[in-house]
Amino acid sequence: MSFARDIPKKAIHYSLPLPGGGLGWGLWLLLVVVPAVASPVLAADAGRVPKPAIEAGRGEKCVESTEFMRKNHMELLKHQRDETMHKGIRTTKYSLNGCIECHASRKNDSVVGSQQNFCQSCHSYAAVKLDCFECHASKPKASAARAAPRQAGDAQRVTGQAAK
């Protein structure tokens, strides 16, 4: 005995979106067949977004492997922040300043400001908000000294105290 024979035709008509069952052939093809056939093609085109072009760092090598840093750099920076801010322990291995010193662009001496800069290029590619530099300088200390008047005003605005 077939299960389909026991179901009234009207129930099949309303439960399955088959051609002639309330949907025209064209609409059925558009809604069911085209997405099923096109999804592998569209998935292959998903790689069309250009990967970030990252300038090589200035140091000899990074403190960790590239793969490790891609996945864990934020955790390292947060841990460094907690050690420094809450415990007063200042080390340089995973410091934001160390990253900036090595990865600042040779063109504009910054890690943000254009899609070719180290931090901004990857964060834009991954659609991740980059908010470190709302408080921190995005340039190494040598170029930060040239911008001291502007940064002194920023420090006063952030802390409420005049820079010394």
CA 4/CA 6 separation, integer angstroms: 5
**Whether pTM exceeds 0.75:** no
Check residue 80 and give its pLDDT: 92
Q: 137 falls in which pLDDT band (50, 70, 90)? A: confident
Which pair of structure tokens corresponds to residue 94?
């995973």
Check residue 133 and give its pLDDT: 84
Each residue's pLDDT tens digit, 89-100: 999 899 999 899
Check residue 68 and give its pLDDT: 94
Q: 86 falls in which pLDDT band (50, 70, 90)? A: very high
Does residue 164 register a pLDDT over 50? no
Arithmetic mean of pLDDT, 139-148: 62
- The lowest-confidence range among 59-73, 95-109, 133-147 is 133-147
Mean pLDDT of the chain: 74
Q: 58 falls in which pLDDT band (50, 70, 90)? A: confident
Cα 27 to the chain's mean position, in Å?
A: 38
Check residue 155 and give its pLDDT: 46
CA dihedral 150, 157, 133, 93 (to 10 degrees): 90
DSSP string for 101-122 = HHHS-TTTS-SSSSTTSHHHHH
Q: 51 falls in which pLDDT band (50, 70, 90)? A: confident
Check residue 9 and give its pLDDT: 56
